[in-house]
Amino acid sequence: MAYLSGIITSFLIAFPALFSIVNPFGGALIYSQITLGRPHAERVSLAWRVATYSAIVMLVSLLIGATLMSFFGVSIDALRVAGGAVVAVSGWRMLYNPQETEDRKQDHASNEGRSASWSSDIAFFPLTMPFTTGPGTISVAIALSANRPATNEALLPFFAGAGGAAIAIALTVGACYAYADRLVSLLGPGRARILTRLSAFLLLCIGVQILMTGIQGALLATLTNAH
């Protein structure tokens, strides 16, 4: 029962954080414009390749991100403080100026998409990175990885839940991009922007929580060493 509870808890923390920064609905609106005029089958195939690459990027960041930082001498508490701050700042920017983030994504993806041949595989660059899972997503995934439990028996449920969240986000990306035309007609820019701001607020809260956990851990370690 504790194992299942750990998976669910980890999933419920990771899913809204990754969903907020990836923003599949907002991305689908831009994806529909970038791939405008292409055959439906080609757009669907491209969408699921982007989803596959996105899953790989998020899973790798979750599984080895914090370990890689530790290898370079960065403590878990320092990583939590830095990662939480990055996540919180990202959420703040998306909350108060969501259009700037989407415009930056659209400009970059459009410019690279025009310069690349559609016969080549542009699913990874630029449509996966940096358009769908860019530096912000990697930062969030590493911050989540840094928030892993200290006990070994709780690690497997944690990574199972966080990994499940990453896969669920990738599937959502694939579905939203594959049916971007229908999503555009259903949501429209206004509703998509509302969803973006709601998810940005969740991202801000999660970033603050990770930041507080890192500060508490650092203070506790300092007090323990002092005594």
Residue 98's Cβ-count burial label (10 Å; 0-12, 13-18, 19+) is buried
Q: pLDDT-based confidence at 1, cuts 50/70/90?
A: confident
CA distance 87 to 108: 22
Whether the CA torsion 35, 52, 66, 9 is positive or negative: it is positive
What share of the chain has pLDDT > 70, as a percent?
A: 89
Residue 188's Cβ-count burial label (10 Å; 0-12, 13-18, 19+) is exposed
Kindly report, residue by residue over 89-133, the tens digit of the pLDDT.
Answer: 877 887 877 666 555 555 555 555 554 444 446 888 888 987 899
Residue 179's Cβ-count burial label (10 Å; 0-12, 13-18, 19+) is middle
Kindly report, residue by residue over 121-178, the tens digit of the pLDDT.
Answer: 688 888 898 789 987 888 889 889 888 887 878 889 999 999 999 999 999 999 999 9
SS3 147: coil
Whether the CA torsion 146, 210, 124, 109 is positive or negative: it is negative
Kindly report, residue by residue over 52-79, the tens digit of the pLDDT.
Answer: 999 999 999 999 887 887 778 877 788 8
